[in-house]
Chains A and B, each alone.
Chain A
Amino acid sequence: MKKNIRLSLAAASCALLGSHGAMAEDKHDVGDWDISAALLFYSEPDRVTATEPVISAKKQIDTDETLTLKLTLDTLTGASANGAVPTNRPQSFTSPSGGTSAYTAAGETPLDESFKDTRVAVNAAWEKPIAKDLTMVLGTNFSTEYDYTSFAVSSTFAKDINNSNTTLMAGLSLGMDMIEPVNGKPVAFGTLQTQGDDDDEDDDGNKVKNGSDDTKSLVDIVVGVTQVIDQNSLFQLSYSLSSSSGYLTDPYKFISVVDPTTGIPLFENNAQPDLPTVVYENRPDSRLKHSVFGQYKRYIGGDVLDTSYRFMVDDWGITSNTIDVKYRWKFADTQYLQPHVRVYQQSAADFYTPFFIDGQQPTVGDTNSEASADYRLGEFMAYTVGLEYGQDNPSNSWSVALEYYLQTGDEPSQAFGELKNQELYPDVDALMLRVVYDF
């Protein structure tokens, strides 16, 4: 028996390279669990704050086989834009859970104050060679929060060719999400806050929420190639097709209805005169996205340059470009500093509308019409700048990163009257602090 064999090894075999970051030189024994933990603090001034602890455990089953389990907790508190426009007088909004009203001062962006959620996510991935130079990764994700449950399975195959200088990759992921909005999903363009304090019914006594849950299904396909260029550089190019269908609407987002001449939201509620008239949004019931992703990495005498570019286009009319550049500057043998810049640009969805002019909003329940005032479907640029400091030690490594994120878009051209005096597309910024520790 060779019980004394101390199998000390890498994340994967030397012969393999590609999507799995193979050939890595970390020294984990077969049978060992490699534990990593991360903590993210995310904070938008006056808005959302998130704390996200992650723990990941990777078992080295063999020199070329691993099992990775990951648990993520995501705690969100604070407020996010509810889609309604600011105006020159105070507005109140009934929260999705009914009852309490959120007060918005004149000139302020209306927020959904009840934004509070805890999400638990579990991921598992099993990587195993199934034939010579052919690796399979089976993955599964499950996540749950109080109004949303998501489940997905995936399998990815990577084939090394050309003396392992080229890796071909293909994968398929199937997912199913369950959406259970508070009080059920809303009726498309259901009108709110126009009468009394009964938020579940419109003027004619029709329900604006039909009380039901809904689902969405997701199919993702990815194909790609990784190529070693020389002893110090490699690139990856991949194409992915992502199809989602089912309930893609945000059940908590409103669209303001404004007066055609003044540009001030309608206030039609006699009992509560500070309640503006808003309608629920409605998005298409399917979305097809195409993405092309390219990445280039180069080792420069101990430093590493990591650049990537992504182009995305979908059938909602959104096009986006993302550029990401990191430079890992190594010093004092085991320490590094890594500046990071990311630039993101997107065009608006065809159905994005910052508000409705009274008379032009679709009729209640008209699911053939699509509109959303969600700023995330508008046209904007986003910038991230960050700096990471890390230490690579044989027994434990850790890193800490601070990043600043800024989203900025132009004011909508269709603004008129009072809308011109308001900031309809305010900047959103956030600070992120990330700590990772490898045990």
Chain B
Amino acid sequence: MKLTLPRILAFLLFSVSICSQAAELDLARYKGKLVYVDFWASWCGPCRASFPFMNDLVKEYGNELAVVSVNLDEERQDADDFLKEIPADFSVIYDPEGGLAKQYGVRGMPNSFLFDRSGKLVSRHDGFTVKDPQHIRELIDNTLGKSQ
């Protein structure tokens, strides 16, 4: 009848580890740069709308900003088809089990996160509308220390 707390915790951790097959995002790799992390899926309309904008970010900010996207499609083929249609000029991490999305607490798509040079979270952004590019650029500029 007596269940120890550590046993339960150990089991929960085990369950988590078998379910989420380790998509990894190591922010330390980008130390010294700003990191823009974006969660997306092929079937999400606003995600589709955000891709050209993220390609622009890569072009505009070059070495100062790393754009990293996390694809959440369960079927890799869906993501590949999407990327064939709308190529990405930034890296794509595949997280079919949603482990990273869980870790980041993704609550809609697209969902983007901006980290400063030291890897500290500056802001998160839900969804993507026509007025978002300007807003996100301002955030990036502020974080870079550029004056408006």
Q: Any chain A CB within 8 A of the CB of B47?
A: yes
Residues of chain A within 8 A of B47, CB atoms compared: 14
The CA of A390 and the CA of B67, in the complex, are separated in Å by 41
Contact B56 A2 (CB under 8 A): yes
Q: State whether the Cβ of A414 lies closer than 8 Å to any Cβ in chain B.
A: no
Assess whether A14 is in contact with B110, with CB atoms less than 8 Å apart.
Answer: yes
Indicate if the CB atoms of A13 and B52 lie closer than 8 Å.
no
B residues near A132, Cβ cutoff 8 Å: 126
Q: Which residues of B contact A4 (CB under 8 A)?
A: 52
A63 touching B46 in the complex, CB below 8 Å, given contacts A2-B133, A30-B130: yes
Known contacts being A62-B129, A62-B130, is A11 close to B107, with CB within 8 Å?
A: no
Which of A4, A5, A14, A24 has the largest count of B CB atoms less than 10 A from its CB? A14
A7 and B49 in contact, given A14-B127, A15-B126, A63-B130 (Cβ under 8 angstroms): yes
Main secondary structure on B side of the interface with A: loop
By a CB distance below 8 angstroms, the chain B residues around A8 are 45, 48-49, 86
Instruction: Give chain B nearest CB distance to A31 CB in angstroms.
Output: 9
Q: A153-179, CB under 8 A of B: which get 1 and which 0?
A: 000000000011000000000000000
Name the interface residues of B25-80: CB closer than 8 Å to any CB of A: 41, 43-49, 52-53, 56
| A20 interface residue (CB < 8 Å to B) | no
Bound CA span A340–B133, Å: 45
Interface-centre pick from B45, B86, B109, B127 (highest chain A CB count, 10 A): B45
| B48 neighbours in A (Cβ, 8 Å) | 8-10, 27
Residue B87 is within 8 A (CB to CB) of chain A in the complex? no
A9 touches B45 (CB 8 A): yes
Nearest neighbor of A61 in chain B, beta-carbon distance = B130
Q: How far is the CB of B67 from chain A (nearest CB, A)?
A: 15
- Establish whether residues A63 and B129, one from each chain, have CB atoms under 8 Å apart when the complex forms: yes
Contacting residues of chain A (114-132) with chain B, CB-CB under 8 angstroms: 132
A15 to B52, alpha carbons, bound, how many Å? 20
Once the chains bind, are A13 and B108 in contact (CB under 8 Å)? Answer: yes
Q: Cβ of B128 < 8 Å from any Cβ of A?
A: yes
A6 to B49, CA, bound (A): 7
A15 and B127 in contact (CB under 8 A), knowing A2-B53, A5-B53, A163-B107? Answer: yes
- Interface residue? A23 (CB, 8 A): yes
Distance (Å) between the CB of A150 and the closest chain B CB?
35
A9 touches B46 (CB 8 A): yes
A64 at the interface (CB under 8 A from B): yes
| CA of A67 to CA of B107, assembled, Å | 26
Distance, CA A11 to CA B46, complexed state (A): 9
Chain B, interface residues (CB within 8 Å), range: 20 to 34
Nearest neighbor of B48 in chain A, beta-carbon distance: A8
Determine the chain B residues whose CB is within 8 A of the CB of A23 once the complex forms.
44-45
In contact, A63 and B128 (Cβ under 8 angstroms): yes
Closest to A31 in B: B130
Interface contact B49-A63, CB-CB below 8 Å: yes
Q: Find chain A residues with CB under 8 A from B56 CB.
A: 2, 5
Contacting B at CB under 8 A, from A24-77, are: 24-27, 30, 62-65
Q: B74: nearest residue on chain A (CB-CB)? A: A231
Q: How does the 8 Å CB contact mask read for B116-147 relative to A, with 1 for contact and 0 for none?
A: 00000000001111110100000000000000
Alpha-carbon distance between A30 and B130 when the two chains are bound, in angstroms: 8
Query: B44: shortest Cβ distance to chain A, in Å?
Result: 4
Most buried by B among A23, A24, A164: A23
Contacts A63-B127, A63-B128, A63-B130 given; indicate if A10 touches B46 (C-beta within 8 A): yes
Measured between beta carbons, the chain B residues less than 8 angstroms from A10 are 44-46, 48
Query: A residues 322-364 with Cβ under 8 Å of B?
Result: none
Chain B minimum-CB-distance residue to A11: B45
With known contacts A24-B45, A30-B49, A14–B108 Cβ distance under 8 A: yes
CB distance from A7 to the nearest CB of B (A): 4
- Complex CA distance for A62 and B48, rounded to whole angstroms: 13
Give every chain A residue within 8 A of B107 (Cβ-Cβ): 15, 163-164
Report A224 CB to chain B, min CB distance, Å: 22
| A30 vs B86: C-alpha distance when bound (angstroms) | 16
Chain B residues lying within 8 Å of A14, measured Cβ to Cβ, are 41, 44-47, 108-110, 127
Partner of B46, one of A5, A13, A163, A164: A13
The residue in B44, B46, B127, B130 that gathers the most chain A C-beta atoms within 10 A of its C-beta is B46
Pick the most buried of B47, B49, B108: most chain A CB atoms within 10 A of its CB.
B49
User: Can you list 6 pairs linking A and B with CB atoms under 8 Å apart?
Assistant: A8-B45, A10-B48, A11-B45, A13-B45, A14-B127, A27-B45
